[in-house]
Structures are given as structure tokens and as C-alpha cells.
Amino acid sequence: MWWIDLMNYFFPVLCLVCGKKLSHMGETLCLECEYKLPKTGFINQPDNPVYQAFWGRVPVEMGTSLFRFEKGSAYQALLHELKYRGNQEAGLYLGRMLGQELIHSSFTACDILVPVPLHKKRLKERGYNQSEVIATGTSEITGIPVVNSLLKRSVNHPSQTSRGRYDRFMNVSGNFTIPSGAPDVNGLKILLIDDVMTTGSTLEACRIELLRKFSCLIYIATVSVA
């Protein structure tokens, strides 16, 4: 429509990585930057580093990440836009890309997608849970429903960026609870969704809490891995 063309002329949509003008509203990356996204290829590697990160810690059926997170990389802008600039469309885009990775794999056997929850204080500040936005995009592609009432983050801690693996785990251990009224997921295959995995401590804490109440199988999928 003419008014869309007019909006694109005066307010062009730019690629979040290279800044190139995009052809259509709603696009996130140009084709070149999408092609160059540093994908891990873990979906085709059963014993990949994401899965191995949980060996000897908690039982996980499978694990994967879409792309490698490198500090200072131009692709860092994707997660920055989602977490700090209110760009939920970037999260939906990443979730759909993750869904495209999962759709031809064993991950499609999962019954529900469960995003790692935010504490209510941080949720109020941000206005949305970035992991839930990603899960929504993934659900659009895979058809697996999102359940955001299974886990609750009961403790709000500051960023874990500067912490090591042990400190990260101690920082999140016991932070998650199963709220009253949570659905019964006994016997289900649950795919935990998060934005970035560094040491896996947050996902491990989620898994431990789920094990306390339910007999279920856990799969892990994140947009990026550091």
C-alpha cells in the first residue's frame, strides 16, 4: 500500500547488524547478515557443548543453541535490542529462526515450551520476558504451545555477567519455584527456552526445581551460547 511505501521512505527499516536499509517493514536482518549469522550447527551434533554442559549436573535429554555469542560482535545487537531497547520483534525473529532449526529434529517431540521466567520486578521494568518472546516465535514455527505458568522466579538477583560458574549457580540456586495452580507436567517432554547460555546455571536451577515435583524429560534450547 502507498502509505507503507511512504513510511519506509521517511522512516526506513534498517538491518540491526549492518545498518543496511531493508525492503519491508517487519524485517530484522538483511539477507547477507542472516546468511552470515554464526550458527553453531549443534542441532546436528547430539553430544554438542550445550548438552555436555549439563553432564554430571542434571539430567537433560538434548540441548542446542542457534548461534555463538561473541562479545563485541555485530550480532550482539540482536540480543541488546531485545533485552534493553524494547525490540520484541527481534525476539520473535530469533525465536522463529530457532524454530526453523528445531522443526526437523527430535526437539519436535516436546509437548510444551517453557521460557525461563523473569522476576516480577524485572518484568515490570522491562515490560516483557525476552525468553517468552523468543518462545512465542519458536511456537509459531513448531506448533508447540508455550506454557509460562509452570515456573516462577521468586528471587531477583543482579546481573551474573562477572560471575564464574560456581558463583552463578549459587546466585540462582533456589530462585525458582513451582507456583500454586501450575499444570501437571508429569510424563511430558519440556523444552526450556532462554536467550543466552553461559554456564547453564540458570537452566540447571530450573531443571532442579522441576525435578522436585515432576517426573518429566527436559530439553534445552537457547538463542545463543557464550
Q: Which tens digits make up the pLDDT trace of 158-195?
A: 555 555 555 554 556 678 999 999 999 999 999 999 99
What residues does CATH 3.40.50.2020 cover in the chain? 37-157+165-225
pLDDT at 224: 97
pLDDT at 115: 98
pLDDT at 55: 94
pLDDT at 10: 45
Q: Which CATH number fits domain 37-157+165-225: 3.40.50.2020, 2.60.40.10, 3.40.50.620, 3.50.50.60?
A: 3.40.50.2020
**pTM to 2 decimals?**
0.88
pLDDT at 107: 97
pLDDT at 52: 97
The single-letter DSSP state of residue 87 is -
**What 3-state class would DSSP assign to 199?**
coil
pLDDT at 25: 72
Residue type present at position 157? H
pLDDT at 171: 57
pLDDT at 71: 84
State the Cα torsion 82-114-106-212 to the nearest 10°. Answer: 140
pLDDT at 175: 87
CA distance 93 to 127: 18
CB 122 within 8 A of CB 200: no
Which residues of the chain have a pLDDT value below 50? 2-4, 6-7, 9-10, 169
CA distance 113 to 204: 16
